[in-house]
């Protein structure tokens, strides 16, 4: 009895369909990435005293400060609030990115290296 090569149980579908599906997924991922890059997320800290807006490209586009938070005797607090708002906005962009990609890949992201998501 000869051994069969390839995947156990045979290849699901044919290679042509697999390639078409991969190309479709790649196009969807490119579109989702472009959409995400155009998205803006705004996060706040200090009860809204500091507001930071970033793009999906992870670029800060705006920092808004309430007058009462600008205290020359407490610059450290202002720095902490800016950092907190920026980190929250970055976390939200990352979450949006993961959700967008998981819609396309159907949870394939955990399959290991070789996938860009």
The predicted model gives 89-112 an average pLDDT of: 78
Quote the pLDDT of residue 2: 52
The predicted model gives 2-16 an average pLDDT of: 60
Quote the pLDDT of residue 112: 45
pLDDT in tens, 73-86: 999 999 999 999 99
Which positions ≥6 away from 69 have C-beta within 8 Å?
A: 46, 49, 50, 77, 78, 81
| Residue 55 pLDDT level (bands cut at 50, 70, 90) | very high
Query: What's the first-to-final CA gap in the chain, in angstroms?
Result: 41
| Residue 5 pLDDT level (bands cut at 50, 70, 90) | low
Question: 23: helix, coil or strand?
Answer: helix
């Amino acid at each position: 009895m000869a051994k069969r090569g390839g995947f156990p149980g045979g290849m699901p579908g044919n290679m042509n369909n697999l390639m078409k599906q991969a190309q479709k997924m790649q196009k969807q991922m490119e579109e989702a990435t472009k959409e995400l890059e155009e998205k803006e997320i705004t996060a706040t800290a200090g009860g809204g005293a500091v507001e930071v807006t970033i793009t999906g490209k992870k670029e800060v586009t705006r920092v808004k400060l309430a007058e009462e938070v600008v205290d020359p005797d407490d610059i450290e607090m202002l720095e902490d609030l800016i950092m907190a708002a920026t980190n929250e906005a970055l976390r939200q962009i990352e979450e949006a990115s993961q959700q967008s990609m998981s819609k396309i890949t159907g949870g394939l992201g955990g399959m290991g290296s070789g996938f860009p998501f």
